[in-house]
Amino acid sequence: MSNHNEISSFIWNVCDDVLRGLFKQHEYGDVIIPFLVLRRLDCVLEGKKNEIIKVHQEYKDKFDDTSKIINSKLNLKFSNYSRYDLNRLKDEPNKLSENFYDYLSSFSTNVQDIIQNFGIQKHIDKLDSNDKLYILIEKFTDIDLHPNVIENHVMGNIFEELLRKFSEMSNETSGEHYTPRDIVRLLVSLVFSPDKDKLSQPNKIISVYDPCCGTGGMLSIGKNWVHENINPKVDINLFGQELNPQTYSICKSDFLITDEEPDNIKLGSTLTKDQHTSRGFDYMITNPPFGVSWKSEEKQVLNESSESGGRFSVGTPRVSDGSLLFLQHLISKMETQGSRIGIVFNGSPLFTGDSGGGESEIRKWIIENDWLECVVQLPDSLFFNTGITTYVWIVSNNKKSNRKGKVQLIDGSNLFKPMKKSLGSKRKEVSDEQRELILKTYSDFKETEISKIFENKFFGYTKVFIEQPLRENGVIVKDKKGVVKTDGSLRDNERVPLGVDVDEYFEREVKPHLPESWMDRSKDSIGYEINFTKYFYQYKPLRSLSDLTKELLDLEKESDGIMNKLIG
C-alpha cells in the first residue's frame, strides 16, 4: 500500500474486522488514529532500533532517562528504547498487554506527550481482554508508513480524511479542525505573494503561526507554497497552538517525523492561555471555528479586555461567536516591521453588531488603523461541515503605498467547479485556474466586475438619534423650564455615511418627513460594517408580462397533453 486510497480502504476494513461490536462508532478514531501514528513512528525508527537499544543499555544505569542521550548520539528527534515495537510485540502474544505498556512508556519525552493526549491507554486493556489487541497490531504491521513510502502531505490528507469520517460517524462537527486544501492554497497565496521580493532575499528567515493549527495542514501547505512558488531556500519556522488533544497529537507527531520543531506546537486555548506570549510572527494564517461560543472562556477573556493594551481591550464580540477574538489575538502578534495575516471567517464578522457594540468597535479599530487590506468572498459549499458562504480577510500593518487608506473587495462567489463526489457538505472546489484568477485580481489592485476598491471611511457611518416631541391631547408637552419633552416611543435613528455632513443629511433626508424632529447629537456613535451583497448587487430586469403569459400557456398545453395520455 503506497497511496491515499489504498490506506484509507485498509483503515475502514480494520474498523469493520476488529472494532465493530467492541467499540461504539464514535470511539473508532480514538483507537485507529493513535495506532496509525505509532506505526508511522515505528517505520521511521525501524532501521535504527538495534542501535537505540544498544545506547540505552550502555547508559541506563547512569541516567533515569536515556532518551536525550540516545537522540543526541544517533542524531534523532525522538526514540524508543524498548526492545519492542509493533512488529516485535507479536513475538510474545501471551504477554502482549504488559509488553505494549513497556513499549509505550519507552518513547522519548516528546512522544510521551503525544501518547498521553491521545489517551490510547484506556483502550489497551479492553482490546487485549477481548483478544483484539494482537489482531489490531497484526493489521497495522502489514502496512509500511515510512515517509519514503507515504509522503508527509499524503499522510496529512489521510489523517484529515479519517478525522472527518469519524466525526460524521459520531454526529460531531466534522471538519472542525482542518480546512480543505483548495481554500488553504488560495489563502496562503494571498498572504505570501505580495512579499515575493522580500522572501527572495538570500538567507531569509521567517516565522509562520497558526493559533488554531489542527493537524498542521495549513502551516505545512504555507511552507511548501513559499518553497515551490517563491524561494526554495527561505528558512521557515512554523509555530502553532491547538485546543483539541487528538489533533494536537497528530500535528506534533507529524512535526517530529519531518524537519520541523515539535516544541513549537502547543496545546491549549489560544484565547485564554496563549503559549507564545513572548513573541510576534511575520506571517499568520488560520481558520478559526465558525460561530462557536466562547461562553466557557468568557471570564478570562473579559478580564483581559479590561486591561489597557490587552488583546481584547478594544472590545469583544457577542458570546455566541468568538471569531473576531482570534483576529484580535493575531493583530497583537504583528511585528513592528510588518506582518501579514490571512484568516477565514463566515459572514458574521463583516456586519454583525451595531455602532458602539463589540463587533463594530473591532471593525472600526482595524479599518481606522488601516490594517484591513482585502476581503475575498468565497463560494458556498466549500467546507466539509457547512454549506455557508465564507470570506478570506487579508490584514497587514505594512500596506504597500498604493493600498494605503483603501480596502479591496473581491467577489469570488462564482469562481468554483462542482465536485464529482461530495465530501460531507463540500460540493464545490476552487480550481487552480480560479485561484490564479483571484490572486491576479488581488495583485492587479484594479476595479473589475469582481473587484471593488473603497476608501476606508466608506465602510463607516455615524449613528444619529432622531427625537420627536411628546404630545398630550395633541399639544406638545414641555417641562418647567420650557424644554420640549421627548417621546421615547417615537425615537428613531439614522446611519449617516462618514464624509457626509450630518446636519445637511438631516435637513435633506429627515426634516421634510418629520418637520418637528431634532437630533440628539450627544448620543452620536461611529460604526463600521461591510455589506458584500450591496456592493456587488447587479440588477436583473423583470421578465415582461408577454413572456410570462406565453410560458404559462405553453405549460398549460404541455400538461393537457400529459393528462390526455394518462387518461387515454
The dihedral sign for the CA sequence 497, 502, 504, 507:
positive
C-alpha separations of 528 from 181, 362, 460, 498 in Å: 32, 9, 4, 10
Give per-residue pLDDT as tens, 411-450. 999 999 999 998 888 999 999 999 999 999 999 999 999 9
pLDDT of residue 540: 67
In the predicted model, what is the mean pLDDT of residues 41-46? 93
pLDDT band per the 50, 70, 90 thresholds, residue 175: very low
Determine the average pLDDT of the residues in 220-244. Answer: 96
Please give the pLDDT value at position 462: 97
Average confidence (pLDDT) over 524-540: 88
Tell which wins on pLDDT, 182 or 24.
Answer: 182
Tell me what the pLDDT averaged over the chain comes to. Answer: 91
Q: Which of 266, 277, 271 is nearest to 292 (CA)?
A: 271
User: Would you say residue 1 has pLDDT above 60?
Assistant: no
Lookup: cell for 308: 489597557
pLDDT tens figures, 90-114: 999 999 999 999 999 999 999 999 9
Which pairing describes strands 426-429 and 417-423: parallel, antiparallel, or unpaired? antiparallel
At residue 568, the pLDDT reads 54
pLDDT at 152: 84
Percent of the chain whose pLDDT exceeds 70: 95
* Distance, CA of 260 to CA of 239 (rounded, Å): 9
Q: Is the pLDDT of residue 567 over 80?
A: no
Q: Could you give the maximum distance between any two Cα atoms of the chain, in Å?
A: 102
Cα angle 376-379-381, degrees, rounded to a multiple of 5:
135
366-374 mean pLDDT:
98
- Position 563 pLDDT exceeds 60: no
User: Residue 157 and residue 177: Cα distance in Å, rounded?
Assistant: 13
* Least confident residue range of 200-214, 382-396, 534-548: 534-548
Residue 5: count other Cβ atoms within 10 Å of its Cβ: 9
pLDDT digits (tens, 9 = 90+) for 293-328: 999 999 999 999 998 889 999 999 999 999 999 999
CA distance 140 to 505: 73
Is pLDDT larger for residue 361 or for residue 175? 361
Whole-number Å distance between alpha carbons of 108 and 65? 8
**Domain positions in the chain:** 4-150, 169-445, 459-533, 543-567
Q: What is the pLDDT of residues 451-474, one digit of tens each?
A: 999 999 999 999 999 999 999 988
Q: Can you point out the beta strands (E) in 354-415?
A: 372-377, 391-396, 406-411
Instruction: Tell me the three-class secondary structure of 17-33, residue by residue.
Output: HHHECCECHHHHHHHHH
Q: What pLDDT is stored for residue 237 in this prediction?
A: 97
Q: Which of 172-176, 223-227, 433-437, 529-533 has the lowest mean pLDDT?
A: 172-176
Give the position of cell 393528462. Answer: 563
Radius of gyration of the chain (CA): 30
d(CA 145, CA 7): 9
Which grid cell is 483? 424644554
Q: What is the pLDDT of residue 176?
A: 53
Q: Is the pLDDT of residue 6 over 90?
A: no
Average pLDDT over residues 211-221: 93
Mean pLDDT of 274-297: 93
* 3-state secondary structure labels for all residues of 128-176: HHCCCHHHHHHHHCCCCCCCCCCCHHHHHHHHHHHHHHHHHHCCCCCCC
pTM of the model: 0.89
Distance in angstroms (rounded) separating the CA atoms of residues 324 and 81 = 46
Report percent pLDDT > 90 for the chain: 74
- Alpha-carbon gap, residue 554 to 561, rounded angstroms: 11
- 445 HSE (CA, 13 A, CB side): 14
Phi first, then psi: give them for residue 163, nearest 5 degrees: -60, -45
Q: Would the pLDDT of 160 be above 90?
A: no
Q: Tell which CATH architecture fits domain 169-445.
A: 3-Layer(aba) Sandwich (3.40)
H helical segments located in 2-151: 4-14, 28-45, 49-59, 67-73, 86-89, 96-105, 109-118, 121-129, 133-140
SS3 351: helix
Name the pLDDT band for 117 (thresholds 50, 70, 90). Answer: very high
> Is 70 exceeded by the pLDDT of residue 174?
no
